[in-house]
Amino acid sequence: MRTRFAMPGGTWPVRRRQQIFDVALAAVIAASGCVAGHEYHPEGWALFDGRAYLLSCLVALPIVWRRAAPMATVAATCMTYSLYLALGYQPSVNWWAPMIALVSLTARRSLRTSALGAVLTAGAVLHSGIAGHLSVLMAAAQALLISLVAVFLGRTQRLLAERNRELRRLTEQLRREQRERARRAVVDERMRIARELHDVVAHHMSVITVQAGLAGYVFATEPETARTALDNIAGAGREALADLRRLLSVLRVDIDEDDVPDPQQTWGPALSRLDELAERVRAAGVDVTVHTEGHPGPLPPGLEMCAYRIVQEALTNVVKHAGPTRAEITVSHLPNELRVTVRDDGGSADPATSPHGSGHGLIGMRERAKAYGGTLVAGARRAGGFEVRLTLPTNAGHPATETA
């Protein structure tokens, strides 16, 4: 894809602009040589006739191709200028053409090629000086100075072009990295939302499924028990909808500033709602107790949400894989970390190896803990049942470490 630049009349390719510039430059040099030869005509020189006008134009004409064929341009301008001088015409500003050609050659070719072009240019300028009746020393100094200045300007132009290319490359690389970071941020947010949806739906659907089975089983024999199960199903459904609303509220883009949800509601339930969670799980046949140790202090909403969701997922696994049993939740508030343990007395089946489980729940819990710099250990207990231990740092300077 070619780079374009904006003009009042539209957009033009950069190459076309360069071609127009080179044609204009060649025309200016040719016109300058013709005007100088016509106006300045000292005695002793050949009359500035039509052939002199033609040669002045031919000296400048190769400038049009100075970008595409810089070495050929240097050779053509030097040879034509030397022919102009050999025919006895007075030296004029035509020497500008070989110098400009040498600048273009040095900017686009190697130093070895540029040195050859500098020798040709110095020879043409030396011829001009001698033809102008300068001393050999003065003519040589002039030729050397003009060639060195042209080489210096060409190398400077080359270095600037290389730096500009490197800057464009770095700019494009930065743009790609920014796009990649934005893409990763989107993917991470989708994964977070997917984990939230998994936890909310899995937990409430597990409770609803167990309660629905209970209601169907005792529907004819124990109507009151069936009615209680249906009430529990309705409550679980309402809470699932409330959790989903809180979760999806972060995706709204058309809300007013006054409608922005409270951060605690946006991130999800706090640890203070563990009793409500335990009550719902008790309705599914699991006897859950909650113990709190230490002095609870203010926690970041995200960290509190992480702990709550892990407890919710652990209890969901108990409902799905352990059946009717006892479960115990212990929340320990330590000076620099939060420890949460969920253990049950049910069978020793590991949810990751259970025929009814995929292991995705444990993977999601570990990813949640890792996202907040914590660790999670889960496995079967020797005395029977299953245990999940979560450790989250509450002080950035004292990260949590995993214990056996």
97-132 pLDDT, tens per residue?
A: 999 999 999 998 888 888 999 999 999 999 988 888
Average pLDDT over residues 72-99: 89
CB contact burial 155-181 (16+ within 10 A = b; e otherwise):
eeebeeeeeeeeeeeeeeeeeeeeeee
What pLDDT sits at residue 335?
A: 87
User: Rounded distance, CA 381 to CA 197, Å?
Assistant: 29
pLDDT at 379 over 50: yes
How many CA atoms are closer than 13 Å to the CA of 79, on its beta-carbon side?
8
Q: What's the rounded mean pLDDT across residues 180-193? A: 75
Predicted local confidence at residue 349, as pLDDT: 45
Q: Which residues pair with 344 in a beta bridge?
A: 327, 386
All residues at 6 or more sequence positions from 265 whose CB lies less than 8 Å from its CB, including other chains: 246, 249
pLDDT at 7 over 90: no
Buried b / exposed e over 123-152, threshold 16 CB at 10 Å, is ebbbbbbbbbebeeeebbebbeebbeebbe
- Write the CB contacts of 20 (distance below 8 Å, at least 6 apart in sequence): none
**Band of the pLDDT at 137, cuts 50, 70, 90?**
very high
For residues 318 and 202, the model is more confident at 318
Query: Using CA of residue 73, residue 77, residue 79, residue 80, what is the dihedral sign?
Result: positive
335 burial via Cβ count (<10 Å: 0-12, 13-18, 19+):
exposed
More confident residue, 86 or 3: 86
- The secondary structure element, H or E, covering residue 56 is helix 50-60
Residues 190-229, buried b or exposed e (16+ Cβ, 10 A)? eebeebbebbbebbbbbbbebbeebbeebeeeeeeebebb
Strand pairing report for 325-333 and 286-294? parallel
**Averaged over 14-36, what is the pLDDT?**
88
| In the predicted structure, residue 166 carries a pLDDT above the cut 90 | yes
* pLDDT range class, residue 251, cuts 50, 70, 90: low
Q: What is the pTM of this model?
A: 0.47
> How far, in Å, CA of 266 to CA of 309, rounded?
14
What is the rounded average pLDDT of the residues 315-337?
84
pLDDT of residue 4: 46
pLDDT at residue 368 is higher than 60: yes
At position 363, the amino acid (one-letter code) is: I
Structural domain boundaries of the chain?
4-134, 186-393
Over 80: is that where the pLDDT of 236 sits? no
Task: Indicate if the pLDDT at residue 348 is higher than 90.
Answer: no
Closest alpha carbon to 104 in 58, 51, 54, 68: 68
Q: Which fold has domain 186-393?
A: Heat Shock Protein 90 (3.30.565)
Do residues 154 and 114 lie in contact, with contact meaning Cβ atoms separated by under 8 Å? yes
Judge contact between 356 and 326, C-beta under 8 A: no
Task: State the CB neighbour count (10 A cutoff) for residue 265.
Answer: 16
Residue 77 CA to residue 396 CA, distance in Å, equals: 72
Give the torsion sign (CA, 112, 113, 116, 117). Answer: negative
First to last CA, the chain: 59
* 237-251 average pLDDT score: 67
Ranges assigned E (strand) in 115-255? none
pLDDT exceeds 80 at position 59: yes
For residues 208 and 318, give the distance between their C-alpha atoms in angstroms, rounded to a whole number.
14
- What per-residue confidence (pLDDT) applies to 267? 46
Neighbours of 104 (CB within 10 A): 25
pLDDT grade for 268, boundaries at 50, 70 and 90: very low
Instruction: List all residues 6 or more positions away from 262 whose beta carbon is below 8 Å from its beta carbon.
Output: none
pLDDT band at 216 (very low <50, low <70, confident <90, very high): confident
Closest CA to 132 of 264, 50, 42, 12: 42
Mean pLDDT of the chain: 79
Instruction: Compute the C-alpha angle 24/26/29, nearest 5°.
Output: 110
